Chain A
Amino acid sequence: MELEAIYTIWLREIKRYLRAKERIISSLAMPIFWFLIFGSGMNIAMRLANTEVKYSDYIAPGIIAMALLFTSVSSGVSVIWDREFGFLKEMLVAPISRTSIVIGKSLGGATTALLQGLMIIGLSALFGVKFSLFSLVSLLPLMLLISIGFVNLGLIIASLMETIEGFQLIMNFVVMPLFFLSGALFPIDNLPYFLKIISLIDPLTYGVDAMRYIVLGASHLPFSISLSIITIFVFITSIIGAWVFNKKQ
Chain B
Amino acid sequence: MIDVYAIETENLRKEFKNIVAVDDLNLKVNKGEIFGLLGPNGAGKTTTISMLCTILKPTSGKAFVNGYDVVKEQDKVRKSIGIVFQDPSLDDRLTARENLEMHASLYGVKEKKQRIKEVLELVELTEKADMLVKTFSGGMKRRLEIARGLVHHPEVLFLDEPTLGLDPQTRAHIWDYIRDLAKKENITIILTTHYMEEADSLCDRIAIIDHGKIIACDTSEKLKKTLKGESIILKVSDNKKAEKYLDNAKVFDGKIAVYVKNAEKEITKILFKLKRHKIDVYEVSIRKPSLNDVFLALTGREIRDEENNKKLIRRGPWS
Contact = CB atoms under 8 A, between A and B. Distances in A.
A92 B55 contact: yes
A95 B75 contact: yes
A174 to B, nearest CB: 26
Interface string A10-27: 011001100110000000
B107 A95 contact: yes
A91 B54 CA distance: 12
A169 interface: no
Contacts of A95: 75, 78-79, 106-108
Nearest to A11: B102
Contact of B89 (A8, A11, A20, A87): A87
A86 interface: yes
A86 B89 contact: yes
Interface in A69-100: 85-87, 89-96
Contacts of A165: none
B318 interface: yes
Interface string B80-109: 000101011111111000100011011110
A43 B148 CA distance: 59
B53 interface: yes
A237 B92 CA distance: 30
A164 to B, nearest CB: 14
Nearest to A5: B106
Max chain B C-beta neighbours (<10 A), residue from A19, A86, A95: A95
Contacts of A91: 106
Given A4-B108, A86-B89, A12 B102 contact: yes
A89 B55 contact: yes
Given A7-B105, A15-B98, A94 B89 contact: no
Interface residues on chain A, size class: 20 to 34
A39 to B, nearest CB: 34
Contacts of B83: 93
Contact of A16 (B89, B93, B108): B93
Max chain A C-beta neighbours (<10 A), residue from B79, B83, B92, B93: B93
B69 to A, nearest CB: 15
Interface residues on chain B, size class: 20 to 34
Contact of B92 (A85, A89, A94): A85
Max chain B C-beta neighbours (<10 A), residue from A4, A15, A89: A89
Interface SS of A by simple majority = helix
Contacts of A86: 85, 87-90
A19 B132 CA distance: 11
A4 B105 contact: yes
A90 B100 CA distance: 11
Given A16-B93, A93-B55, A5 B88 contact: no
B203 to A, nearest CB: 23
A83 to B, nearest CB: 10
A93 B93 CA distance: 20
A96 B85 contact: no
Given A93-B53, A95-B78, A8 B106 contact: yes
Nearest to B148: A90
B89 A89 contact: yes
B105 A90 contact: no
Interface string B100-135: 001101111000000000000000000000000000
Contact of A93 (B54, B105, B108, B318): B54
Contacts of B103: 90, 94
B94 A12 contact: yes
A96 B55 contact: no
Given A85-B318, A87-B90, A94 B106 contact: yes
A90 B81 CA distance: 12
A44 to B, nearest CB: 44
Contacts of A11: 102
Contacts of B108: 4, 95
Contact of A15 (B55, B94, B106): B94
B78 A94 contact: yes
Contacts of B93: 15-16, 19-20
A87 B98 CA distance: 13
Interface of B: 53-55, 75, 78-79, 83, 85, 87-94, 98, 102-103, 105-108, 148, 318
18 contacts: A4-B106, A4-B108, A8-B105, A15-B98, A16-B91, A16-B94, A85-B89, A85-B91, A85-B92, A85-B318, A86-B88, A87-B90, A90-B148, A93-B53, A93-B55, A93-B78, A94-B106, A95-B75
Closest 9 CB pairs of A and B: A86-B89, A95-B78, A94-B106, A8-B105, A95-B79, A90-B89, A95-B75, A87-B91, A89-B89
Interface of A: 4-5, 7-8, 11-12, 15-16, 19-20, 85-87, 89-96
Given A8-B102, A16-B94, A89-B85, 12 more contacts: A4-B105, A4-B108, A8-B105, A11-B102, A15-B93, A15-B98, A86-B90, A89-B55, A90-B91, A93-B55, A93-B78, A93-B83
